[in-house]
A and B are shown apart, each in its own frame.
Chain A
Amino acid sequence: MRINCPYCGPRPNEEFNVLGDATKTRPDADKATAQDWLDYVYERDNPKGRLEEYWHHASGCRNWLVVKRNTVTHEVYSVVAARDYKKTHPEGVKK
Protein backbone atom coordinates (compact mmCIF):
# COMPACT_ATOMS: atom_id res chain seq x y z
CA MET A 1 0.00 0.00 0.00
CA ARG A 2 1.30 3.42 -0.91
CA ILE A 3 0.42 6.56 1.03
CA ASN A 4 0.85 9.92 -0.64
CA CYS A 5 2.35 11.97 2.18
CA PRO A 6 1.51 15.66 1.69
CA TYR A 7 5.11 16.57 2.57
CA CYS A 8 7.21 13.70 1.27
CA GLY A 9 5.24 12.36 -1.69
CA PRO A 10 4.21 8.74 -2.27
CA ARG A 11 5.85 6.32 0.18
CA PRO A 12 5.26 2.65 1.00
CA ASN A 13 3.46 1.75 4.21
CA GLU A 14 6.67 0.41 5.80
CA GLU A 15 7.60 4.02 6.51
CA PHE A 16 4.41 4.59 8.50
CA ASN A 17 2.89 3.52 11.79
CA VAL A 18 -0.87 3.14 11.97
CA LEU A 19 -2.94 4.22 14.94
CA GLY A 20 -6.32 3.27 13.43
CA ASP A 21 -9.77 4.84 13.51
CA ALA A 22 -9.48 8.63 13.43
CA THR A 23 -13.15 9.27 14.18
CA LYS A 24 -12.73 9.08 17.94
CA THR A 25 -13.07 12.43 19.64
CA ARG A 26 -10.98 13.51 22.58
CA PRO A 27 -12.96 13.33 25.80
CA ASP A 28 -13.62 16.40 27.91
CA ALA A 29 -10.61 16.56 30.24
CA ASP A 30 -12.73 17.78 33.18
CA LYS A 31 -15.41 15.10 32.97
CA ALA A 32 -13.71 12.06 31.43
CA THR A 33 -13.32 8.89 33.46
CA ALA A 34 -10.39 6.49 33.25
CA GLN A 35 -12.60 4.27 31.07
CA ASP A 36 -13.22 7.18 28.64
CA TRP A 37 -9.47 7.70 28.27
CA LEU A 38 -8.80 3.99 27.84
CA ASP A 39 -11.40 3.93 25.09
CA TYR A 40 -10.06 7.05 23.37
CA VAL A 41 -6.36 6.17 23.56
CA TYR A 42 -6.33 2.40 23.02
CA GLU A 43 -9.61 0.95 21.85
CA ARG A 44 -9.99 0.80 18.07
CA ASP A 45 -12.42 -1.22 15.97
CA ASN A 46 -11.12 -2.80 12.81
CA PRO A 47 -14.09 -2.50 10.46
CA LYS A 48 -14.26 -3.80 6.92
CA GLY A 49 -14.37 -1.26 4.08
CA ARG A 50 -13.98 2.52 4.09
CA LEU A 51 -12.23 3.99 7.09
CA GLU A 52 -10.55 7.19 8.16
CA GLU A 53 -7.36 6.41 10.01
CA TYR A 54 -4.48 8.20 11.68
CA TRP A 55 -1.13 7.23 10.21
CA HIS A 56 2.22 8.51 11.43
CA HIS A 57 4.99 9.03 8.89
CA ALA A 58 7.54 7.71 11.38
CA SER A 59 10.44 7.17 8.96
CA GLY A 60 9.82 10.40 7.10
CA CYS A 61 8.52 13.80 8.11
CA ARG A 62 7.21 12.44 11.45
CA ASN A 63 3.78 14.00 10.90
CA TRP A 64 0.37 12.60 11.71
CA LEU A 65 -1.87 12.14 8.70
CA VAL A 66 -5.57 11.40 8.25
CA VAL A 67 -5.82 8.71 5.58
CA LYS A 68 -9.15 7.75 4.04
CA ARG A 69 -8.79 4.24 2.75
CA ASN A 70 -10.45 0.91 2.17
CA THR A 71 -9.35 -1.80 4.58
CA VAL A 72 -10.35 -4.53 2.13
CA THR A 73 -8.83 -3.30 -1.14
CA HIS A 74 -6.12 -1.06 0.40
CA GLU A 75 -7.22 1.68 -1.98
CA VAL A 76 -6.31 5.11 -0.58
CA TYR A 77 -8.87 7.85 -1.31
CA SER A 78 -7.21 10.84 0.31
CA VAL A 79 -4.38 11.85 2.61
CA VAL A 80 -4.32 15.07 4.62
CA ALA A 81 -1.94 16.23 7.34
CA ALA A 82 -3.84 15.89 10.63
CA ARG A 83 -3.23 19.51 11.54
CA ASP A 84 -4.60 20.71 8.19
CA TYR A 85 -7.57 18.37 8.53
CA LYS A 86 -8.38 20.00 11.82
CA LYS A 87 -8.47 23.44 10.20
CA THR A 88 -11.20 22.38 7.77
CA HIS A 89 -12.95 20.04 10.24
CA PRO A 90 -12.78 21.88 13.58
CA GLU A 91 -15.26 19.45 15.09
CA GLY A 92 -12.82 16.56 14.47
CA VAL A 93 -13.07 13.59 12.18
CA LYS A 94 -16.72 12.55 11.83
CA LYS A 95 -18.01 9.10 11.06
Chain B
Amino acid sequence: MPEISKNPKRLSPLENIALPGKYGAINNETPGVILSVCPARSVVSIGARKNMEAKVSAVFKKQYALIAPKPGRSEYTKNLAVHWAGPEQWYVITNSCEEGTLYDKLAKQFSGIASIIDQSHGRVTIKVSGRNACDLMAKGTPVDLHKNAFTKGCCAVTEMAHITVHLAEIADDEFEVSVFRGFAESFWQWLTEMSLEFGYEVK
Protein backbone atom coordinates (compact mmCIF):
# COMPACT_ATOMS: atom_id res chain seq x y z
CA MET B 1 0.00 0.00 0.00
CA PRO B 2 1.33 3.43 -0.84
CA GLU B 3 1.62 5.90 2.00
CA ILE B 4 -1.30 8.32 2.02
CA SER B 5 -0.71 11.64 3.71
CA LYS B 6 -3.37 12.70 6.18
CA ASN B 7 -2.84 16.34 5.31
CA PRO B 8 -2.18 16.48 1.58
CA LYS B 9 -1.02 19.80 0.21
CA ARG B 10 -3.47 21.30 -2.25
CA LEU B 11 -1.77 21.73 -5.59
CA SER B 12 -3.00 24.34 -8.01
CA PRO B 13 -3.47 23.06 -11.56
CA LEU B 14 -1.33 26.08 -12.50
CA GLU B 15 1.43 24.99 -10.10
CA ASN B 16 4.14 24.58 -12.74
CA ILE B 17 2.49 26.71 -15.39
CA ALA B 18 2.00 30.15 -13.84
CA LEU B 19 5.70 30.82 -13.33
CA PRO B 20 6.76 34.12 -11.74
CA GLY B 21 8.47 36.54 -14.08
CA LYS B 22 7.98 39.37 -16.53
CA TYR B 23 6.75 38.67 -20.04
CA GLY B 24 5.66 40.42 -23.21
CA ALA B 25 5.99 44.06 -24.24
CA ILE B 26 7.35 45.62 -21.07
CA ASN B 27 10.04 47.90 -22.60
CA ASN B 28 11.51 49.27 -19.37
CA GLU B 29 8.08 50.30 -18.19
CA THR B 30 6.11 48.68 -15.42
CA PRO B 31 4.01 45.78 -16.71
CA GLY B 32 0.46 46.74 -17.76
CA VAL B 33 -1.01 43.62 -16.21
CA ILE B 34 -0.17 41.72 -13.04
CA LEU B 35 -1.44 38.17 -12.76
CA SER B 36 -1.41 36.03 -9.67
CA VAL B 37 -3.02 32.73 -8.89
CA CYS B 38 -4.92 32.99 -5.62
CA PRO B 39 -3.70 30.54 -2.99
CA ALA B 40 -5.97 27.60 -2.15
CA ARG B 41 -9.06 29.03 -0.50
CA SER B 42 -12.49 27.95 0.64
CA VAL B 43 -15.28 28.44 -1.89
CA VAL B 44 -18.78 27.37 -0.93
CA SER B 45 -21.88 27.84 -3.06
CA ILE B 46 -25.27 28.57 -1.57
CA GLY B 47 -28.46 27.94 -3.51
CA ALA B 48 -31.69 28.99 -1.84
CA ARG B 49 -34.41 26.34 -1.96
CA LYS B 50 -37.78 27.14 -3.44
CA ASN B 51 -39.47 30.18 -1.82
CA MET B 52 -36.69 30.41 0.78
CA GLU B 53 -34.96 33.52 -0.51
CA ALA B 54 -36.23 35.75 2.31
CA LYS B 55 -35.06 33.26 4.94
CA VAL B 56 -31.65 32.97 3.31
CA SER B 57 -31.35 36.77 3.26
CA ALA B 58 -32.29 36.87 6.93
CA VAL B 59 -29.48 34.43 7.80
CA PHE B 60 -26.95 36.48 5.81
CA LYS B 61 -28.06 39.55 7.74
CA LYS B 62 -28.08 37.94 11.16
CA GLN B 63 -24.85 35.92 10.86
CA TYR B 64 -22.76 38.18 8.65
CA ALA B 65 -24.43 41.59 8.87
CA LEU B 66 -24.71 41.84 5.10
CA ILE B 67 -27.47 41.85 2.54
CA ALA B 68 -27.57 38.86 0.20
CA PRO B 69 -25.99 40.32 -2.96
CA LYS B 70 -28.42 41.28 -5.70
CA PRO B 71 -27.77 40.20 -9.32
CA GLY B 72 -24.32 41.31 -10.43
CA ARG B 73 -23.20 42.44 -6.98
CA SER B 74 -20.69 41.32 -4.36
CA GLU B 75 -20.55 42.06 -0.66
CA TYR B 76 -17.47 41.93 1.51
CA THR B 77 -16.89 41.55 5.23
CA LYS B 78 -13.53 41.49 6.99
CA ASN B 79 -12.96 37.79 6.22
CA LEU B 80 -15.54 36.90 3.60
CA ALA B 81 -16.46 37.70 0.04
CA VAL B 82 -20.00 36.92 -1.07
CA HIS B 83 -20.66 37.03 -4.82
CA TRP B 84 -23.92 36.70 -6.69
CA ALA B 85 -23.68 33.60 -8.88
CA GLY B 86 -27.17 33.22 -10.35
CA PRO B 87 -30.74 33.80 -9.20
CA GLU B 88 -30.83 32.99 -5.46
CA GLN B 89 -27.32 31.59 -5.70
CA TRP B 90 -24.10 32.88 -4.19
CA TYR B 91 -20.45 32.01 -3.71
CA VAL B 92 -19.01 32.53 -0.25
CA ILE B 93 -15.22 32.77 -0.26
CA THR B 94 -12.63 33.01 2.47
CA ASN B 95 -8.88 32.65 2.89
CA SER B 96 -8.98 32.65 6.62
CA CYS B 97 -9.99 29.18 7.78
CA GLU B 98 -9.09 25.53 7.63
CA GLU B 99 -10.36 23.52 4.71
CA GLY B 100 -13.94 22.35 5.25
CA THR B 101 -14.61 24.73 8.14
CA LEU B 102 -16.55 27.26 6.08
CA TYR B 103 -18.71 24.51 4.58
CA ASP B 104 -19.52 23.05 8.01
CA LYS B 105 -20.45 26.48 9.34
CA LEU B 106 -22.66 27.45 6.40
CA ALA B 107 -24.32 24.02 6.22
CA LYS B 108 -25.40 24.50 9.82
CA GLN B 109 -26.50 28.13 9.44
CA PHE B 110 -28.50 27.55 6.25
CA SER B 111 -29.77 24.09 7.14
CA GLY B 112 -33.11 23.33 5.49
CA ILE B 113 -33.37 26.58 3.55
CA ALA B 114 -30.48 26.32 1.07
CA SER B 115 -28.25 23.77 -0.62
CA ILE B 116 -24.62 24.21 0.40
CA ILE B 117 -21.86 22.80 -1.76
CA ASP B 118 -18.13 22.98 -1.11
CA GLN B 119 -16.44 24.00 -4.38
CA SER B 120 -13.02 24.78 -2.91
CA HIS B 121 -11.23 22.16 -5.02
CA GLY B 122 -13.35 22.81 -8.07
CA ARG B 123 -12.42 26.37 -8.90
CA VAL B 124 -9.23 28.27 -9.57
CA THR B 125 -9.14 32.02 -9.09
CA ILE B 126 -6.72 34.37 -10.79
CA LYS B 127 -6.22 37.95 -9.66
CA VAL B 128 -5.76 40.44 -12.48
CA SER B 129 -4.54 43.95 -11.68
CA GLY B 130 -2.45 46.72 -13.20
CA ARG B 131 -3.24 49.69 -15.43
CA ASN B 132 -4.38 47.47 -18.34
CA ALA B 133 -6.36 44.99 -16.23
CA CYS B 134 -9.68 46.35 -17.46
CA ASP B 135 -8.51 46.32 -21.11
CA LEU B 136 -7.48 42.71 -20.73
CA MET B 137 -10.78 41.62 -19.19
CA ALA B 138 -12.69 43.52 -21.87
CA LYS B 139 -11.00 41.39 -24.52
CA GLY B 140 -12.74 38.35 -23.13
CA THR B 141 -16.20 39.33 -22.01
CA PRO B 142 -19.12 41.16 -23.61
CA VAL B 143 -19.97 42.62 -20.18
CA ASP B 144 -19.63 46.41 -20.18
CA LEU B 145 -16.62 47.07 -17.93
CA HIS B 146 -16.66 50.87 -18.29
CA LYS B 147 -16.28 52.64 -14.94
CA ASN B 148 -19.85 53.92 -15.21
CA ALA B 149 -21.19 50.38 -15.55
CA PHE B 150 -18.86 48.04 -13.68
CA THR B 151 -17.02 49.09 -10.54
CA LYS B 152 -15.74 47.72 -7.27
CA GLY B 153 -18.48 45.52 -5.83
CA CYS B 154 -19.76 44.38 -9.23
CA CYS B 155 -19.55 40.81 -10.47
CA ALA B 156 -20.80 38.77 -13.42
CA VAL B 157 -21.06 35.22 -14.65
CA THR B 158 -19.94 35.34 -18.25
CA GLU B 159 -17.74 33.76 -20.88
CA MET B 160 -14.11 34.35 -21.81
CA ALA B 161 -12.39 32.33 -24.54
CA HIS B 162 -15.42 29.98 -24.63
CA ILE B 163 -14.94 29.23 -20.93
CA THR B 164 -17.55 30.14 -18.34
CA VAL B 165 -16.01 32.43 -15.75
CA HIS B 166 -17.06 34.29 -12.65
CA LEU B 167 -15.68 37.81 -12.80
CA ALA B 168 -15.59 40.19 -9.83
CA GLU B 169 -14.07 43.65 -9.48
CA ILE B 170 -12.64 43.51 -5.97
CA ALA B 171 -10.99 46.95 -6.02
CA ASP B 172 -10.56 49.68 -8.62
CA ASP B 173 -9.07 48.00 -11.71
CA GLU B 174 -8.47 44.83 -9.74
CA PHE B 175 -10.35 41.73 -10.82
CA GLU B 176 -10.77 38.17 -9.70
CA VAL B 177 -11.61 35.65 -12.42
CA SER B 178 -12.59 32.20 -11.32
CA VAL B 179 -12.88 29.17 -13.61
CA PHE B 180 -13.51 25.48 -13.17
CA ARG B 181 -10.30 23.70 -12.26
CA GLY B 182 -10.24 21.62 -15.43
CA PHE B 183 -10.28 24.76 -17.57
CA ALA B 184 -7.59 26.59 -15.62
CA GLU B 185 -4.68 25.72 -17.89
CA SER B 186 -6.53 26.50 -21.09
CA PHE B 187 -7.78 29.76 -19.59
CA TRP B 188 -4.29 30.68 -18.42
CA GLN B 189 -2.95 30.16 -21.91
CA TRP B 190 -5.52 32.55 -23.35
CA LEU B 191 -5.06 35.08 -20.54
CA THR B 192 -1.29 35.27 -20.93
CA GLU B 193 -1.46 35.45 -24.71
CA MET B 194 -3.90 38.34 -24.47
CA SER B 195 -1.61 40.05 -21.94
CA LEU B 196 1.48 40.02 -24.17
CA GLU B 197 0.74 43.38 -25.80
CA PHE B 198 0.47 45.11 -22.39
CA GLY B 199 3.45 43.35 -20.86
CA TYR B 200 2.62 41.26 -17.83
CA GLU B 201 4.13 40.09 -14.62
CA VAL B 202 3.24 36.84 -12.92
CA LYS B 203 3.53 37.12 -9.16
Contact = CB atoms under 8 A, between A and B. Distances in A.
A9 B72 contact: yes
A8 B164 contact: no
A49 interface: no
Interface of B: 71-72, 86-87, 142-143, 156-159, 164
Interface of A: 7-9, 11-12, 14-15, 58-63, 81
A14 B157 contact: no
A15 to B, nearest CB: 5
Given A8-B71, A12-B142, A61 B159 contact: no
A83 B164 CA distance: 23
Nearest to B86: A61
A58 B165 CA distance: 11
B142 A61 contact: no
Contacts of B164: 58-59
B86 A7 contact: yes
Contacts of A15: 142, 158-159
Contact of A7 (B71, B142, B143, B159): B71
A12 B162 CA distance: 12
A60 B87 contact: no
A91 to B, nearest CB: 21
Given A14-B159, A59-B164, 6 more contacts: A7-B72, A8-B72, A9-B72, A61-B71, A61-B87, A63-B87
Contact of B142 (A11, A58, A63, A81): A11
Nearest to B165: A59
